[in-house]
Structure 1
Amino acid sequence: MSDELTYGEIYAPIYEEYITVQGKVAEVGETVAFLARYCNGGSALELGIGDGRVAVPLSERGVKVDGIDNSCSMLKLLAKRTDLVKAWQGDIAHFSSERRYNLVYCVYFTFALLFTREAQIACLRSAAQALDDEGVLVLELGVPGLDPLVGGQKTTTARLVNHENTILNVSVHDPLTQNLVSTLLWFSGTSVRRLPQRVRYVYHQELDTMAECVGLELTERWGDWARGAFTERSERHISVYRRRSP
């Protein structure tokens, strides 16, 4: 998808700094521990592999990790980090693989970068086809907040505020398509960065329905990578799907 490609090319130069500020580097250990139990030294495919933040430490646990990403710049960052992970440039909505995996996973809300319902269903279908008979699909997604989502209007939310950084998110919301067209404004010291982003948010119930359409069923849902409970206060969910039994 061109939107995902644009995202990768824009974020690649500052990606490591950005995910560190967002706390994603700090939780890698929990993320990898969660994922590793589903492949136990077997094979995994990451959708939107980026710079290998998760794939590289997962491969160091003996898992054979492959990956897909639309961004050439992101794949170059990955190649600089390791030669243990095989990755190719492609669209995570429409891909095929001769190999079947114990685990297919998509983290850090990458799934939401697929900007239409059709693309999201296509991604789930492609992922399901890439699983072996006992394989699982793991998705990390945010829980949409209702308060700021005013139809057709601009909304501003603070994503991060500390003594060094302030990140504001300014969005235009289309409730008919569940699209948010956003600009992140990142204030750090005397610099200001402008980072555009387009996403389609998905409620967990809708995600379950889309998964059912491609032959998958929910087996687990957690509130974080440490397997905390998913509750009405959760800001994200980690959902685990398997092929539906005949």
Structure 2
Amino acid sequence: MTDEDGYFGERVAAKYDDGTSAEYQPEVIGATVGVLAELARGGRALELAVGTGRIALPLAARGVEVHGIDMSRAMVARLRAKPGGDAIGVTIGDFTTARVEGSFSLAYLVFNTIMNVTTQDGQVECFRNAAAHLAPGGCFVVEVMVPELRKLPVGQDVVPFRADATGWAFDRYDLVTQEMSSNYIDVVDGRGDYRSVPFRYVWPAELDLMARIAGLRLRERWGGWNREPFTADSARHVSVWEKPAA
């Protein structure tokens, strides 16, 4: 993964909580936290890429002891400034390798963040690291989009997802390497500002194999945090892998 100042430094952190997408709606956060609190079963929870605490803070408010890992000191500073932020333990580091003392009943990685790990080897290490933190019977939860390749016309590699008076945004896919990027052009005072964030898209079956390599097994998969069925038309999935109790 890249350093904190590359993609999630002060510039992004300053605006990160201003989002108006579904992930910031109270009902979405409530459903997410409800599932995670249930899976934690009264034990400790480890959030990979804890960021500004969108999920960690309300989960802690439900009585779950939460510890986070994050590379970005700028994002963690926003977490610390919020009510209850000081109660969230945070380890600064790469969540594919950084270790935290003790064991956890739950580890989780939400909002497509597994794709911020831009190599297959790195994604496998993420699963191994999560599994190493779990107590027997503990669960690793990942929320991630299903790659939108069906939206690509033949011969094209770009999927636009925003176009309005203040800017444009599009995803670019490489069908051979599974590399992709989200690209943003924001128009402020008549001037365009461009930024690009790299990802590696990943399929559900590929994640299941990564989990097996890490000694985990698939327990449940839903089309969202309300436990709706996962189907061929699902735009994302919430997957739960379990560390064997024996």
**1:217 aligned partner, one-letter code:** R
Instruction: Give the equivalent residue in structure 1 for 2:177.
Output: 177
Distance in 2 (CA, whole Å) between partners of 1:158 and 1:4 is: 26
The answer to whether structure 1 residue 198 and structure 2 residue 201 are counterparts is: no
Deviation readout 1:38-77 (Å, 9 max, x if unpaired): 1133210000001000000000111100001111100100
201-210 vs 188-197, which deviates more? 188-197
> Over the residues paired in the alignment, what is the CA RMSD in angstroms?
2.4
Counterparts in 2 of 1:190 and 1:34: CA distance versus 1, 3 Å? farther
The TM-score with structure 1 as length reference comes to: 0.89
Provide structure 2 residue ranges, at least 5 long, that are not aligned to the other structure: none
Q: Size of the alignment, in residue pairs?
A: 241
**2:199 aligned partner, one-letter code:** V
The TM-score with structure 2 as length reference comes to: 0.89
Instruction: Give the equivalent residue in structure 1 for 2:121.
Output: 118
Distance in 1 (CA, whole Å) between partners of 2:226 and 2:108 is: 16
Alpha-carbon deviation of 1:116?
Answer: 0.2
Distance in 2 (CA, whole Å) between partners of 1:51 and 1:190 is: 31
184-193 vs 69-78, which deviates more? 184-193
Alpha-carbon deviation of 1:85?
Answer: 0.5
143-152 vs 170-179, which deviates more? 143-152
The answer to whether structure 1 residue 43 and structure 2 residue 44 are counterparts is: yes
Instruction: Give the equivalent residue in structure 1 for 2:93.
Output: 90
Instruction: Give the equivalent residue in structure 1 for 2:240.
Output: 240
Counterparts in 2 of 1:73 and 1:64: CA distance versus 1, 3 Å? same
Matched position secondary structure for 2:39? coil
Distance in 2 (CA, whole Å) between partners of 1:191 and 1:86 is: 41
Counterparts in 2 of 1:186 and 1:238: CA distance versus 1, 3 Å? farther
Q: Tell whether the 8 Å contact from 2:161 to 2:171 is kept in structure 1 after alignment.
A: no
Distance in 2 (CA, whole Å) between partners of 1:56 and 1:196 is: 29
Counterpart of 1:127 (choices 126, 130, 155) is 130
**2:91 aligned partner, one-letter code:** W
Distance in 2 (CA, whole Å) between partners of 1:180 and 1:174 is: 6
Provide structure 1 residue ranges, at least 5 long, that are not aligned to the other structure: none
> How many percent identity over aligned positions?
36
Q: Tell whether the 8 Å contact from 1:42 to 1:62 is kept in structure 2 after alignment.
A: no
Q: Which runs of 4+ in 1 moved over 4 A?
A: 148-154, 186-193
Alpha-carbon deviation of 1:22?
Answer: 1.3
Instruction: Give the equivalent residue in structure 2 for 1:208.
Output: 208
Q: Tell whether the 8 Å contact from 2:114 to 2:123 is kept in structure 1 after alignment.
A: yes
